[in-house]
Amino acid sequence: MRREGERNFRLILEYDGSNYHGWQRQKGLITVQEVVESCLGIMLDRPVKVRASGRTDAGVHAFGQVVNFYAATNLSPEDFQNGLNSLLPEDVVVVGAEEVDLSFHARFSAKRKVYCYRILNRRLRFPLLRNYAWHIPAKLDIEAMRDALKHFLGEHDFSAFMASKSSVKSRVRTVFKAELDEFGSGNLVMTFEANGFLRHMVRIMVGTVVEVGLGKRVPGDIPAILKSLDRLQAGRTAPAHGLYLMKVIYDESKDAGENDALRVITSFLPEFTGRSAR
């Protein structure tokens, strides 16, 4: 129950998930939610509950995680952004803050989400990317992977692409975008946009498409896997550290339509694309 005079604040967070056990609070473990709530508690001198657009897993990164919280305060959104950034560890930053309608909920108000997955496809590993891309030394068939991705578009039951033992009311999701971009030699980024994602859904789709790229499957296998509703029919779950929550869309008419894949490549280690070690 909200207290009288409370206001609703929305924050946009970027974080490096390498040192965290995911977003959600877990007893005895360091999580992103814990550090954000702890810093807000310092600013407001009381416990604060933060609601996120989704729960990123351990090792998953974010460019655009959205959260909201209620507070009876005279502090402005700018005060929260500046104050939190002075308190948060260096691997978490508030890149946006605003006051929103009391009805806004970071998760339930969302219309779409965008994830990107980064792959380093070259013979030698690159140590500086060890926590930020899945290194695959064997050459991938890019065009076959692109053909496979097309089969995810539209509305499907994604039971085969959901972590086992997950419990949700509906496993039907609509995928609006499933693309693969290549930047330079071996820098690959898959981009997925949907009205929602099941647990591990993106990582299982990536793992399955990589098997297509390795010649272990063909693109035409994807429809049969979807129809099977059987997790065992899909491929492996791709490692968490290549995954990025790019943005959460609340008003589709205001979506900037930026190139999220390019942002993954250029936001850090921008000079890498010119270095080859095949």
Q: Which residues are catalytic?
A: 57
Distance, CA of 87 to CA of 180 (rounded, Å) = 37
CA triple 6-12-15, angle to 5 deg: 130
Tell whether residue 117 is among the known ligand binding residues.
no
Q: List, in order, residues 6 or more apart from 187 with CB less than 8 Å away.
A: 118, 120, 121, 265, 272, 273
Distance, CA of 69 to CA of 22 (rounded, Å) = 19
The residue type found at 229 is: L
Q: Of 76, 64, 69, 50, which Cα lies nearest the Cα of 250?
A: 64
Q: List, in order, residues 6 or more apart from 31 with CB less than 8 Å away.
A: 20, 21, 22, 23, 24, 25
Neighbours of 85 (CB within 10 A): 14
Annotated binding site for substrate: 115
Annotated binding site: 115
